[in-house]
Amino acid sequence: MAEKSSYPVVVIGLGRFGTALALELTRRGTEVLAIDRRPKVVQGLAGQITQIATADSTDMEALKQLGVSDFYRAVVAIGGDLEASILTTSLLVELEINDIWAKAVTVQHGQILRRIGAHHVVFPEHDMGERVAHLVSGRMLDFMQVDEGFALAKTHPPKEYVGIPLGSSNLRRKYGVTIVAVKSPEERFTYATADTELAYGDIIIVSGPTEDVERFAELP
């Protein structure tokens, strides 16, 4: 199944990271089901996230009742309770979730999560929630907020810009972004010039206003 930015996401664990991630995904238009076992936390976020529920994520029946098995993508954002993090991840694997992201607090924790089947392991601080939201919800391979309102993203070139020199593409006028570097398969990154022609399979670094970069990175 091909990845789509419109896939809804389950976020399990609403600490600082999970909350920042769920809110950012919601802001960007992604449907979110957020789960936490603490009623006060859930009540405090009610109305700010698409769907939110109080449940024990280590209980398979609870996950099934919430329809978690119907989701393509899930993020285990539990950090403080390692047993709950590992158990929850293992249940998502058992439910055959296609794309499982899991937060780790130590290298050893991350190794265990990978061994039991997490497809991606992240080691985020609170301010990483926004970056990971861009990676989880879309086509970006990496994202960095350089300054307020300005960002860099690593992504693949949209098909409309494949095979034409960047200098004649009107890219900045149309989308407000600049391609600053390009990497062809089996090659290293090099500076993009007006004569650079992109190819399918290339990886590009794009810079510009954050909203413009987000919009450009979602082009097919």
Q: Which domains does the chain have, with CATH numbers?
A: 9-122 (3.40.50.720), 127-218 (3.30.70.1450)
CB atoms within 10 A of CB 96: 9
What SS3 class is residue 169? coil
Over the stretch 124-135, which tens digit does the pLDDT of each residue have? 753 466 667 777
CB 76 within 8 A of CB 12: yes
Q: How many residues does the chain have?
A: 220
Q: List the strands of the sheet with 203-209, edge to edge.
A: 142-147, 150-155, 203-209, 178-183, 190-191
Q: Which residues pair with 178 in a beta bridge?
A: 207
Q: What percent of the chain has pLDDT over 70?
A: 93
Q: Give the span between the Cα atoms of 182 and 72, in whole angstroms.
A: 30
CB 187 within 8 A of CB 206: no
Q: Give the span between the Cα atoms of 154 and 141, in whole angstroms.
A: 5
Please name which of 159, 200, 150 lies closest in space to residue 177, comparing C-alpha atoms. 150
Does the pLDDT value for residue 141 go beyond 90?
no
Here the tokens at position 141 are 């391979």
Distances 166 to 169, 177, 195, 214 between C-alpha atoms, Å: 5, 12, 6, 19
Here the tokens at position 28 are 């960007």
For residue 139, the model assigns a pLDDT of: 77
Q: Give the span between the Cα atoms of 7 and 74, in whole angstroms.
A: 10
Over the stretch 67-126, which tens digit does the pLDDT of each residue have? 999 999 999 999 889 999 999 999 999 999 999 999 998 889 999 999 999 999 988 753
